Structure 1
Amino acid sequence: MLQNIYDYLLLMSLFSIWLVILLNMILVTSGFINYLKHYRNKKDRILSEYPFVSILIPAHNEGKVIEKTVQSILDLEYDNDRYEIIVINDNSNDNSKEILENIKERNPRRFFKIINTDNIIGGKGKSNALNIGFKESRGEYIVIYDADNTPEKIALKELVYDIENDPEAGAVIGKFRCRNKNRNLLTRFINLEGIYFQWMAQAGRWQLFKLCTIPGTNFIIRRSILEKIGGWDTKAITEDTEISFRIYRMGYHIRFCPYSATWEQEPETVSVWLKQRKRWIKGNYYVLIKNFKYLFDKKAGPIRFDLLYYLSIYIFFFTASLISDLIFVLSFGGFIKTYIVGYSLLLWFMAYVLFVLSVQISSSTEKGELNFSNFIIILIMYFTYCKLWMLVAVIGLASFINDILFNRKVTWYKTERF
Structure 2
Amino acid sequence: MPLIFDYIAIFFALLGTIPVWASLYQFFMIGIHGIKNHYKHTAAYMPRVAIIVPAWNEGDVIGNTIEHLLSMDYPKHALRVYVVDDASTDHTPDVVKEKHEQYPDNVFHLRREKGGQGKAHTLNHGINIILEENWAEALLIIDADVLFEKNALRLMTRHLADKNVGSVTAYIKEGSAPGNFISKFIAFEYITAQAASRRAQNVMGSLACLAGGAQLHSRENLLAIGGKIDTSSLAEDTFTTFKTQLNGRKAVFDGNATVWAEEPGSVVAIWKQRLRWARGNVQVTKAFKHIWLNKKNGKKLGSFSFSLLWFAILLMPVFMILSSIGLIWLFFSNFSESWLLFKQLWIVNAFTYLFVTIYSLIIDKQTAKKAWLQGVLFPGIISLTIIVLSCFPAAIDDFIHFVNGMTQADLGLTQKIIVLFMYAWASLCMLFAYWAYIADKNKKPYWLSLTLLLISGFGALLCTITLYSYIMEYKKAELKWDKTQKSGKVVIAG
Q: Alpha-carbon deviation of 1:113?
A: 0.5
- Shift, 1:26, TM fit: 2.3
Instruction: Report deviation, 1:213.
Output: 2.6
Map 1:5-16 → 2, pairs under 5 A: 5=5, 11-16=10-15
Counterpart for residue 27 of structure 2: 28
Equivalenced residues, count: 402
Q: Quote the offset at 1:32 in angstroms.
A: 4.2
CA distance in 2, matches of 1:415, 1:32: 35
Partner of 1:104: 100
SS of residue matched to 1:260: strand
CA contact 2:167–2:221 (8 Å) conserved in 1 = no
For residues 262 and 353 of structure 1, the distance between their equivalents in structure 2, rounded to whole angstroms, comes to 32
Deviation string for 1:20-44 (max 9, x for gaps)?
A: 2222222223224425888xxx899
Who is 2:61 aligned against?
65
Aligned to 1:302: 300
CA pair 43-411 structure 1, distance change in 2 beyond 3 A: closer
How do residues 177-216 of structure 1 correspond to structure 2 at under 5 angstroms?
A: 177-180=173-176, 183-209=179-205, 211-216=207-212
The one-letter code sitting in structure 2 at the alignment partner of 1:128 is: H
Q: Is the 8 A contact 1:238 1:283 kept in 2?
A: yes
1:53 Cα deviation from its structure 2 partner: 1.1
- Whether 1:95 and 2:95 are equivalent positions in the alignment is no
Q: Does the 8 A contact of 1:69 with 1:147 survive in 2? A: yes
Q: Which amino acid aligns with 2:462?
A: W
Amino acid at match of 1:417: K
Please list the CA deviations of residues 259-288 of structure 1 after superposition, one character each: whole Å capped at 9, or x if unmatched: 211001101111011011110111111111
Aligned-partner residue type, residue 280 of structure 1: W
Contact 2:72-2:149 within 8 A present in 1 as well: yes
Provide closer, same or farther for how the CA distance between residues 221 and 322 of structure 1 changes in structure 2, counting only shifts above 3 A. same
Is 1:314–2:310 an aligned residue pair? no
Quick one: which amino acid aligns to residue 117 of structure 2? K
Deviations 1:278-307 (A, max 9, x none): 101111111110101122543221121344
Q: What does residue 486 of structure 2 align with? A: 417
Call closer, same or farther: CA 1:43–1:222 in 2, change over 3 Å: closer
d(CA) in 2 for partners of 1:380, 1:50: 43
Residue of structure 2 equivalent to 1:131 = 124
> In the alignment, is the contact (CA less than 8 A) between 1:35 and 1:365 conserved in 2?
no
Tell me, in whole angstroms, the C-alpha distance in 1 between the residues paired with 2:4 and 2:374. Answer: 37
Alignment of 1:66-85 (within 5 A): 66-85=62-81
CA distance in 2, matches of 1:10, 1:104: 65
* CA deviations over 1:51-79 (Å, ceiling 9, x no partner): 21111111122233322222211111111
Alignment of structure 1 residues 117-196 onto 2, 5 Å: 117-119=112-114, 122-137=115-130, 138-164=135-161, 166-180=162-176, 183-196=179-192
Structure 2: distance between partners of 1:89 and 1:184 = 30
| Map of 1:266 onto structure 2 | 263
Aligned-partner Cα distance in 1 for 2:147–2:272: 23
| Superposed CA offset, 1:63-110 (max 9, x none) | 3332222221111111111121101111222332223233334x3231
Secondary structure of 1:359's match? helix
> Cα gap change, 1:51/1:388 in structure 2, threshold over 3 Å: closer, same or farther?
same
Q: 1:362 to 1:374 in 2, by over 3 A?
A: same
Contact kept? 1:2, 1:8, Cα under 8 Å: no
Identity of matched residues, % = 22
Confirm or deny: 8 A CA contact 2:208 2:238 kept in the other structure: no
1:206-257, CA deviations, whole angstroms, 9 ceiling, x for partnerless residues? 1233545312122211212222322111112111111111111111111222
2:343 aligned residue = 345
**What displacement does 1:130 show?**
1.0
User: Residues 310-334 of structure 1, C-alpha deviation per residue, up to 9 Å, x if partnerless?
Assistant: 222112x221112335677x79xx9
Contact 2:49–2:140, Cα closer than 8 Å, also in 1: yes
> Aligned with 2:156: secondary structure?
helix
Question: What's the C-alpha RMSD, in Å, of the aligned pairs?
Answer: 3.0
User: Cα gap change, 1:11/1:184 in structure 2, threshold over 3 Å: closer, same or farther?
Assistant: farther
Q: Distance between the aligned counterparts of 2:120 and 2:105, measured in 1?
A: 26
Q: Does 1:361 align with 2:430?
A: no
Q: Cα distance 1:259–1:342, how it changes in 2: closer, same or farther (>3 A)?
A: same
Equivalent residues of 1:14, 1:348 under 8 A apart: no
SS in structure 2 of the partner of residue 261 of structure 1: strand
Residue in structure 1 matching 2:468, options 389, 395, 411? 395
Cα distance, 1:9–1:345 mapped onto 2, change above 3 Å: farther
Alpha-carbon distance in structure 2 between the residues aligned to 1:2 and 1:50: 68
Question: For residues 240 and 41 of structure 2, what CA distance do their matches in structure 1 show?
Answer: 31
8 Å contact kept, 1:212–1:256 = no
Q: 1:338 and 1:123 mapped to 2: Cα distance? A: 56
Q: Is the 8 A contact 2:317 2:463 kept in 1?
A: yes
Aligned CA distance change for structure 1 residues 256 and 145 (closer, same or farther; 3 Å): same
* Residue 346 of structure 1, CA deviation: 2.3
Normalized against structure 1, the TM-score is what?
Answer: 0.87
Bigger CA radius of gyration: 2
Q: Secondary structure at the match of 2:282?
A: helix
Residue matched to 2:108: 113
Q: Deviation of residue 128 (structure 1)?
A: 0.8
User: Which ranges of structure 2 fall in alignment gaps of 5 or more residues?
Assistant: 381-456, 488-494
- Regions of 4+ moved over 4 Å: 1-5, 7-10, 35-38, 42-46, 325-328, 334-339
Unpaired segments of 5 or more residues in structure 1?
none
